[in-house]
Amino acid sequence: MIRNGKMNRIITAAAAAIAFGFVQPVLTKADEIRVWTARAIATVLVEIGPEFERTTGHKLVVSSDLPDAFARRLKAGEQFDVLITGLAPIEEWIKAGRIIAETRTDIARSGIGVAVRAGTTKPDISSVQAFKRAVLDAKSIAYLKVGSGIYVNALFKRFGINEVVRPKVTRPERDIVCELVGKGDVELGIVVVTQILTSPGVELVGPLPPEIQSYVVFAAGVGTNSKVPEASKQLIKFLNSGVAIRVIQSQGMEPGNKAASPKQ
């Protein structure tokens, strides 16, 4: 027979457990999501990642790099759950069977801009001719080998100045164009606007003139071999939510519902 005191303790404990259950948020099973992402979206995740983790219980493990580096890591046997990068690599990984096709989602797009070291003189890039003159006058220039850098290189060829500027161009293997500008190693950086706005030590001169502007679309997809596909889909959905859109816009990009553009 259970004595009254013991019975009271059992009832009290049960009531407390029930009450605790009512006040706790209902969370899905907590998973660890490995995210491989372009820097442009990594800076967004710095802002909104904690909110996603708090509301879902999942944990984000974020790595920022360029597509070639991610390809090498995958070949070496490293696993990922979500890839967020430029549209072309996403499509390539879908064709290669590395990403589940139906999970492909546009997250944001960014135009290309010009950066200078903070506090230095900003050249005139208000017209196509002015931009061309700024490039020719600059002592050194940096742009990437991938993404926006491919477009910039083609633009210089179109201008007929590629051979002239080539000796003063740096095209880093990593996403460090603004870092080079900020340190004073390079005079002009030509890269997506969002990177300029989120990097210390540099200032945005302005976007490329409208006649020659191009956009880099950042898209996401869930890895074919992901062990947490449902949690990964939750993250992608969150990146298209109002919370994420506000941060995306504050960092100089347009959200996923406006990402599609003929000028990419």
Verdict on whether the full-model pTM lies above 0.75: yes
Concatenating the DSSP letter of every residue in 56-92 gives H--EEEEEE--HHHHHHHHHTT---SEEEEEHHHHHH
CB burial of residue 93 (10 Å; 0-12, 13-18, 19+)? buried
pLDDT band per the 50, 70, 90 thresholds, residue 173: confident
Domains of the chain, by residue range, sit at: 32-109+217-258, 110-212
Q: How far is CA 255 from CA 10, 41, 89, 235, 263, in A?
A: 53, 11, 19, 15, 16
**What average pLDDT does this structure show over 89-115?**
97
pLDDT (tens digit per residue) in 207-254: 999 999 999 999 999 999 999 999 999 999 999 999 999 999 999 999
CA distance 166 to 259: 31
Nearest Cα to Cα of residue 97 among 116, 74, 119, 118: 74
* pLDDT, average across residues 21-32: 56
Asked whether this chain's domains 32-109+217-258 and 110-212 adopt the same fold, the reply is yes
Beta bridge partners of 192: 112
Q: What are phi and psi of 116, to 5 degrees?
A: -130, 165
Helix (H) or strand (E) segment spanning residue 221: strand 215-222
What's the chain's average pLDDT? 88
Lookup: tokens for 199: 């990097």
Residue with tokens 């969370």: 27
pLDDT of residue 257: 64
Residue 27 pLDDT greater than 60, yes or no: no
Start-to-end C-alpha separation, the chain: 78
Over range 156-177, report the average pLDDT. Answer: 94
C-alpha dihedral, 154 to 159 to 163 to 165, nearest 10°? -90
Residue 258 confidence class, pLDDT cut points 50, 70, 90: low
3-state secondary structure of 187: coil
Query: What is the third-level CATH fold of 110-212?
Result: D-Maltodextrin-Binding Protein; domain 2 (3.40.190)
Percentage, residues of the chain above pLDDT 70: 86
The pLDDT value recorded for residue 12 is: 38
Place of tokens 């990594």: 42
Q: Which of 89-93, 143-147, 165-169, 192-196 has the lowest mean pLDDT?
A: 143-147
Record: fold of 32-109+217-258: D-Maltodextrin-Binding Protein; domain 2 (3.40.190)
Is residue 106 scored above 90 in pLDDT? yes
Query: 242-250 and 39-56 helices cross at what angle (nearest 10)?
Result: 150
Q: CB-based burial of residue 107 (10 Å sphere; 0-12 exposed, 13-18 middle, 19+ buried)? A: buried
Query: Which range is least confidently modeled, 28-42, 103-117, 122-136?
Result: 28-42
Q: Which residues pair with 35 in a beta bridge?
A: 62, 82
- The per-residue pLDDT for 30 is 83
